[in-house]
Amino acid sequence: MQKMKPTVLILCTGNSCRSHLAEGILRAVAGDFLNVQSAGSKPAGYVHPLAIQVMKEVGIDISGHHSKHMDEFLKQPVETVITVCGNADQACPMFPGQVNRHHWGFYDPAHATGTDEEKLAVFRQVRDQIKMVFEAYADGRHDQMKSKAA
């Protein structure tokens, strides 16, 4: 019998930018051993076009993602919840089977102002910060799995 991959749920308020950046990155580096999902406490109903654009720049396609409410995950086992904004951290319920909870806050690039190029620069900066944190998290989870298997 194949063991189910543990679910990691990344939460944000709007589920339009940061949580999708994190979901795309974590899925790209750990999707073989983690079920990576994202949702919001007050979903915006769309994925921000600049989030899609900056992910495409690093070879990750999130254009098929959609904005979801965190309540969609209340009836399924969620092993780890990671909040990427303070509002979601405060609104976050406990999920069935939840073992871990992390809060790593990032600036919301949707609040960026200025020219299109200036806004894009903010999205890239946040993407790169998220990439660094979530790649390190994936490496740690991978090491943890290897040590359990040994």
How do residues 79-135 score in pLDDT, each as one tens digit?
Answer: 999 999 877 667 667 777 878 989 999 999 999 999 999 999 999 999 999 999 999
Neighbours of 87 (CB within 10 A): 17
Q: Which tokens is 143 given? A: 């090491």
Domain 7-149, what architecture?
3-Layer(aba) Sandwich (3.40)
Beta bridge partners of 31: none
Q: Whole-model pTM?
A: 0.93
> How many of the other CB atoms lie within 10 Å of CB of 98?
16
17 in catalytic set = no
Active-site entry in 8, 82, 85, 88 = 85
Query: Is 85 known to be catalytic?
Result: yes
Name the catalytic one among 9, 10, 11, 12: 12
Domain residue spans of the chain:
7-149
Find where tokens 């949702």 sit: 39
